[in-house]
Amino acid sequence: MITRIPNYFHDFRCLAGACPDTCCGQWEIVVDEAAKARYLAVEGPLGEQIEKALTVIDGEDCMALIDGKCPLLTEDGLCPIVTQLGEDFLSTTCHTHPRFTEIYGGLQETMLSISCPEAARLLLEQEAPLHFVTEIDTVLPEPDDLDADQFDMLLAARQTAFALVQDRSRPLSDRLALLLCFAGRLQNNMEALQICEALCRRYEDRSYQDKQLCRVRRKRRHGSMIRTRQLLTAMEHLTKDFPTALKDLECTDLTPYALQLEQLTVYFLFRWWLKAACNDRLWQQVAATVVSVLTISGLCKPIGSLTEAARLYSKEVEHSQENMTLLRNAMELPMFSLGELLKLLEVHHAV
Ligand code: SF4
């Protein structure tokens, strides 16, 4: 099996008791069957504590939250299962968080979710362009029913998308405009792989990129985040902070945080782009990426910091299957068409 991970993956260390926003609360902490059996076999005071904490929510075994937190957490924010029994004793959810893995046959891609403050810090404090490294192990690939040719095309096209987004010689708003145009063209030609390959070559060509930017320049004005605000406000929320901050969501100049927003764009593309191999809806993934990045940028002022805005957005949207479905489906509506999204990428620089 080939595993692809971000370049800073092995630098991650859980902050444990020093974490400003522990992941041991606010959302459902699912306990898998094997972990439940291990937990119920623990004897003594910890065993009794675990047994008391276990509950069932919507048919799933979970830790019951008290005051929004896992009741096992000690006053100094530590998990007694880890301190007394070791990390390997944890349920899969607790053991793997904030690592999220997508498996596509013989390829598995793992990212550190930016809902974790330390993972967000590692991503957003990195100045060098985000890149990915591969590791190979002896685990056999999982069977899949993906179209191999289309999957290879999507992998190659994602590299082109990364290159567009990481071209720091252009303002970020131009790079995102090119990304959207590229994704729109690919989506319209998903069935014709040769055309998609030709599109990759075209979008790698700087003079073609310049022509595209000229072509759409007039469309890039009068943008408003009102539709995005309505969409995100209608979602299910974990905290009050998120809907409160959304009230002040507006279009912002991307320039001051271009570097961090570039990293976020690549982060979301890495997590979502290949999902098109399962549903043919590349536009949904890329439009959702751009909308997410613009939202995080727009929430920076009301929330107070870009890292905090990214962390909260990830926790509220990226970690809810229901919210992600709403977000992706909305990208098919006329209000999130290519023309409408280009309006949000106003030209703030002289050309
Ligand atoms: S959010 Fe991240 S740093 Fe904080 S406790 Fe969870 S894994 Fe550790």
27, pLDDT greater than 90: no
Determine the distance separating the centroid of ligand 1 and the alpha carbon of 215, expressed in angstroms: 45
Tens-digit pLDDT profile for residues 276-320: 999 999 999 999 999 999 999 999 999 999 999 999 999 999 999
d(CA 248, CA 244): 8
- Ligand 1 lined by 70 (C-beta under 6 Å): no
What is the pLDDT at residue 351? 42
Determine the distance separating the centroid of ligand 1 and the alpha carbon of 22, expressed in angstroms: 5
- Ligand 1 lined by 73 (C-beta under 6 Å): no
d(CA 318, CA 312): 10
3-state secondary structure of 58: coil
144, pLDDT greater than 90: no
Determine the distance separating the centroid of ligand 1 and the alpha carbon of 119, expressed in angstroms: 8
Determine the distance separating the centroid of ligand 1 and the alpha carbon of 15, expressed in angstroms: 6
d(CA 321, CA 190): 25
- Ligand 1 lined by 14 (C-beta under 6 Å): yes
- Ligand 1 lined by 311 (C-beta under 6 Å): no
- Ligand 1 lined by 116 (C-beta under 6 Å): yes
Mean pLDDT of all residues in 174-201: 97
Identity (one letter) of the amino acid at 319? H
- Ligand 1 lined by 19 (C-beta under 6 Å): yes
What is the pLDDT at residue 218? 87
Distances (CA, A) of 306 to 19, 23, 60, 229: 18, 19, 34, 18
**pTM of the complete model:** 0.94
In the beta sheet, which residues pair with residue 110? 101
**Contacts with 82 (C-beta within 8 Å, 6 or more apart), sequence order:** 16, 89, 90
Distances (CA, A) of 240 to 23, 49, 237: 17, 30, 7
% residues pLDDT > 70 (the chain): 99
Q: Domain extents for the chain? A: 24-96, 148-343
- Ligand 1 lined by 82 (C-beta under 6 Å): no
Mean pLDDT of all residues in 240-267: 96
